[in-house]
Chains A and B, each alone.
Chain A
Amino acid sequence: MKRYLPLFVLLALVVLVQLVTSWTHTTYYLTQLTMSAYYSLVIIGLCLLMGYAGQISLGHAGFFAIGGYLSATLTTHNLVTYQDHTLIVLLKKSGCLVAGQDLYGGQLLVVQPWVACLVAVGVTVLIAFLIGGPVLKLKGHYLAMATLGFGTIVYRVVLANRLFGEADGISSVPPFPLLPGVAVSGGFGARVSNYYIAWGLVLIFMILLINLINSRVGRALRAIHGSEEAANAMGVNTAGYKLKIFMLSAGVAALAGVFLTHYNGGIGPSEAGVMKSVRYVAIVAVGGMASIWGALSMGVVLNFLSLRGVFGSYDDAVFGVILIVIMLFAPEGLLRLKLFTRLKKLRGGGQ
């Protein structure tokens, strides 16, 4: 299967990087690579929405944050004071809640991470469904502004709400036990396992999304991008497809938010900021819009460099410059510059 070949290369690379870092005692790189993997997950989801279906979203940090914040709140908010409430008793009996002790030995009753994750992703997808209906009727500037507005509202809400920790965000989020003995957490000993968890998740979604792109649905999405009117006349339920891809892409962002929040042990309001959304769009654009591999590679490289602090205090400026330069000189993405297409043709001609 030709389409899966690059996935094996990616898998090999992932393993190779881990081996090299452990030989050279530079496993600290894995931390940023793990975080980059989660951000890249958001980016490949956005790539599907923007590059393939042609719908811009300047609110994807909002979906990421809803996922992360909900999971963080549910797994840290102490329900002990309500423990006699019938609903809480029921939830406890069904195993949705876990009891424990806080740092000072006080009783702690919080939502089980798996349940929290499902709720977080579910609620995000539901929100995407509710706002997607009206938002996706808009095009161009209007769609951009509406999604930007949505992202800003999420930002304001987390910033203004006690429950979400206001400007401090939420900390001491517990590990997320995926399987017995394997948990998503930022613990020192869990570095390698978490690196593989993150990249495993990326690989799974790459497989799913690549399949989708190459399917009847993917073709319909590209048709919508080309001409909504004609796609509709060919029998493509354009409104329905746009809504579904919006929900899928929001759900992937939320899932990334949940995992990264458990990995970092917390989440802050900057994750919901408009600059984050713009950054995701920038990376999709650099990767070439309709290129999921471009989005993934640029997502890893740029996030990794940014997280390593390479850009220093010019971090946002770098993304601004990238956006402008790419859109001015290579609107089809870096990999589609004329030079690259010529090389590709040469190679194609040789076969």
Chain B
Amino acid sequence: MTPILEVKNLNRRFGGLKAVSDVSFAVTENQIKAVIGPNGAGKTTLFNLISGALPVDSGQVLFQGKPLQGRQPWQIATAGIARTYQNIKLFPGMTALENVMIGRHSRTRSGFIAGMLNLPRTWKEERDIREESMALLELLEIAELADSEAISLAFGQQRAVEFARALAAEPNLLLLDEPAAGLNMQETAEVARLISKIRERKITVLLVEHDMSLVMDISDEIVVLSFGQKIAEDVPTAIQQNPEVIKIYLGDGDDA
């Protein structure tokens, strides 16, 4: 199988700290892959490097065989990588529906002139954006919140809106940064169900997560990072047996 995402010898340092050090792995099409590791292992930095939010020091990220270096985040998003944030970033002053509609931005086209003149194809596109976004809110079972201000919703609901916004971009690859953070067990179970739903849409998922049960349940493969370095990459059952992984998680009495 061809990898949809290839990370090759990726490096990024902050001052003297090596946040990501010589990390390589690949994600194959329609896979659910998880990146785990203790706090400060460089997981979020890795996401920021892939999505273009941070520049890479050295190494390569290939998406569908093409290098992403030097591309702006919006270009990477348009190429088909969508993401969510650990500390949810919804747009203030906009409704839940509008937030999801922003997600459609990379898949729609009307520009300034067309927008000002409100040409027929523009308002047709706008109508489609609205309908498709509404459908996503329905998929996530939050359709009734469409007109509420997004940032005033409950935490779990905000997370759902952010999910819908990411899905609205019809990504080939979805980066989920700790999708279960701050959620209770029931909500976490729903996230797991949701991620499986996403896979049915032929979307590849790369997620960073702390919640071990969630990761072991849903992922096909797991990459383990520690202090910026990859220390293991395998299927969940093997990761659970891996002595090094057990050492960094159980040895330090962390949250495994």
Q: Which residues of A contact B (CB under 8 A)?
A: 208-209, 211-212, 214-220, 222-223, 225-227, 229-239, 244, 248, 290
Contact = CB atoms under 8 A, between A and B. Distances in A.
A234 B106 contact: yes
Contacts of A218: 115
B125 interface: yes
B118 A226 contact: no
Contacts of B94: 219, 222-223, 226
Contacts of B169: 234-235
Contacts of B53: 229, 232-233
B74 interface: yes
Contact of A217 (B72, B82, B90, B115): B115
Contacts of A212: 112, 115-116
A7 to B, nearest CB: 13
A238 B74 CA distance: 8
Given A233-B83, A234-B106, A219 B117 contact: no
Q: Determine the main DSSP class of A at the interface with B.
A: helix
A98 to B, nearest CB: 31
Contacts of A236: 74, 102, 105
A219 B112 contact: no
A162 to B, nearest CB: 38
Contact of A222 (B74, B91, B108): B91
Nearest to A213: B115
A290 B94 CA distance: 12
B89 interface: yes
A230 B110 CA distance: 20
Contacts of B75: 237
Interface in B151-171: 165, 169
Contact of B91 (A209, A223, A232, A237): A223
B101 interface: yes
Contacts of B98: 219, 222
A236 B107 CA distance: 11
Given A212-B115, A215-B118, A226-B93, A235 B85 contact: no
